[in-house]
Structures are given as C-alpha cells and as structure tokens.
Amino acid sequence: MHASRRCGVGLNFTVLITGVCGFVGASVARTLLDIEPSLQIKGIDNLARTGSALNWQPLQSRGVRLFHGDLRVASDLAAVGPCDWVIDAAALPSVVAGVDGRNSGRQVVETNLMGTLNLLEHCASHRSGLILLSTSRVYSIAELKRLPLEIDDNAFHLEPNVSIAGASTEGISEAFSTQAPISLYGATKLASETMALEYGLAYRFPVWINRCGVLAGAGQFGRIDQGIFAFWINSHLRRKPLKYIGFGGQGTQVRDCLHPQDLARLLYLQMTEGVRPDRSPVMNVGGGIESAISLRQLTQWCDDRFGPHTIEASDETRPFDLPWIVLDSSRAKDQWDWQPQVSVSQILDEIAAHATANSNWLESST
C-alpha cells in the first residue's frame, strides 16, 4: 500500500469492515458511503449473530463487497485481500459473554483477541491502517462502583468536586483506571488495544483505538445486554415484561448513547486526515453527559410516547451491572474537532419509529 493512500491523501481507497453485518458495522458502512461514495468497502462477517443476515442484501446493494468468513480462521481473512484501512467492528460484544451460558470463556478470547491478532497480521502484511472499536468496558468495575453518586430527577449523577483520577461530572476519561476486574469481554478488548498499538509500532502502520460507549439507533439488535435502548423501547411498545434490576430497583442507573453515524464521521476523519504525533491513538467516543439517560427516564419517555407501562422492581445484584457510565470524549473533540451531532431525543425517536414499523423486531434479532 502507498503511504499517501494509507494516510488518506487520496479519497479512492479501500476499507475493510469486520463484523460488517452487525448493527455497528452495517451502520458505519452505510454512513461512510454517504460521506464519500467513491470509497471501496469490503466487509467480512460470519453471520453468527441472529439478525445479522438481514443486513447482507442491503449492504450488497450499496456496492459493499461481502465475504462470509470468520476472523478466527486466517485463511478466511486472507481471501479478502489487501486494503488501505481496516475497521474492526467484530466481537462478542457483551459484558456477560463467557458467563451467560451462550459462549465459553475460550470462545470470547478466540473471537475478541485471537481474531484481532489475525487481523493485525493481515494489516502488517499489507501495511493497512487499523481502527479498533474498543469499549468503555475496559474501565475498572470496582473503581466505577466506588464513584460517589447522588440521585436527582430519577437518575444517578456524579457528585460535584469528585477527586478520582479520570472522573468528573463530564464523565469518565481515558485516565480512569483499567485495573481488573473488567469482565472477560473487557479484558479481551483491553488486550487487543495493547496488541494493536504494539503491532502498529513494530510494523509501521497507523492505529486508532476508539473506546465506544453505548451505540444506539434504528435497526439495532434488541438484546438487553447489548442493545438496551432498542430492547427497552421495543419491549415497552409491545407491553412485554420489563424490570429495573439492582440499585434499589428504581431504574436510576445511567448510560450515555451515541449514534453510529457520529462514530462513522470520526472514523472518516481518522482515515483521511493522516497521523500526527500530537494525537493520542486512544480515545473515548461516546455521547457524553448531554446524551446520558437513566432507565427510569427512558421509561418516562416511552410512557409519553406509547402510554403507561408498569415496570417491575428487583433488588437482585449482578456482578457486571454498574450505576453510572458516561464517557468524557474531550480528547476526541480536542484532537479531531469532533462531537456528536445526533441528539438522544433523535436517537430515541428513530428507534421508536423503527419499532413501530417492525412489529417482530425483537423476535428476528435476538
């Protein structure tokens, strides 16, 4: 690959997206083509995720060259051939992966870490740049649970004047602790980050690592452990049982959300603006405090839209549940002049419209 193309001087370059038929991969592919129709996009997916096959034909119709393959199989990846940039959106993306009875711990490691290692070898061979989609779940569970919180307007908030490294009322920054425990999922992503940086230095290809918060929008698969916004809105609309679990059963736990279109805008900048020594390769990419919302507030939004629906309360304590995770993406803003453009209300409206138009979405995507 020519260095000028790899650093994005020309627009006519080839991008490989792994996990391309997942919600994030498919959304990123579509948005990149909206931004720059001349992009040549390849995609690989093993279609193991329920619902992912629904994205195959629409992507193909946009000109995406699709490969049915598994990153754990090096020969599947070799068949894709060279590219200028790789966006790694493939993973078992649940914090309970490996302990939920669906997958073993070995499968989590093989998919999330060994698959990434195969991808890094591919990048090294072809001098391709890599963008790794990581996660907020690399941050320490124990330290996140120690954050001093208060409740206001049916939602947890970080107490003002907090004096914990990497934490402020703007959210969790990249300086926050990544000390274990962080879950098997979080550990594989943190290890992937380290290996990506080392491979990039050793084999001289650019690497960007984006620690994403909750990504949400129309067409998101409705699993509670991954697509909580899609799951909650679809379930509320269908009057399916819903439950506030833990934290007093009040639904005050908070997450921020980001539309994948906003993520894709940043990825495009990372591929086209080139590498500068003053830019850190690791950054948070989330909706931030402006998009933070509690389950209780989400329920109120649904009640206003669809009519009241009773939510059960449970004091059950689960080891991976956290009361408050909001990402501070100031580094991405400072380095790339990037910030989210799609508001939380727009995201919720979009999901609700999709849920109304697709009455069997939960059944077809879970």
Backbone angles phi, psi at 300, to 5 degrees: -60, -40
Within 10 angstroms of residue 121's Cβ, the number of other Cβ atoms is: 15
Residue 110 tokens read as 């093989």
Sign of dihedral through CA atoms 47, 49, 50, 51? negative
Residue-by-residue pLDDT tens, the chain, 366 positions: 333 334 444 468 999 999 999 999 999 999 999 999 999 999 999 998 888 999 999 999 999 999 999 999 999 999 999 999 999 999 988 898 888 888 899 999 999 999 999 999 999 999 999 999 999 999 999 999 999 999 999 999 999 989 999 999 999 999 999 999 999 999 999 999 999 999 999 999 999 999 999 999 999 987 777 789 999 999 999 999 999 999 999 999 999 999 999 999 999 999 999 788 899 999 999 999 999 999 999 999 999 999 999 999 999 999 999 999 999 999 999 999 999 999 999 999 999 999 999 988 888 877
Residue 254: C-alpha distances to residues 8, 138, 157, 195, 323 (Å): 37, 17, 8, 31, 6
Residue 286 tokens read as 């989330």
Label residue 132 exposed, middle or buried (CB < 10 Å: 0-12, 13-18, 19+).
buried
Domain locations in the chain?
14-357
Residue 197 tokens read as 């940086």
Please answer whether residues 220 and 230 qualify as being in contact, where contact means their C-beta atoms are separated by less than 8 angstroms: yes
For position 9, what pLDDT does the model report?
40
Sign of dihedral through CA atoms 82, 83, 85, 88? negative
Angle between helices 228-237 and 295-306 (to 10 degrees): 40
Residue 12 tokens read as 């006519």
pTM as predicted: 0.95
Give me the residues paired with residue 41 across strands. 15
Q: What's the distance, CA 119 to chain centroid? A: 18
Fold classification of 14-357 (topology level): Rossmann fold (3.40.50)
Please answer whether residues 284 and 328 qualify as being in contact, where contact means their C-beta atoms are separated by less than 8 angstroms: yes
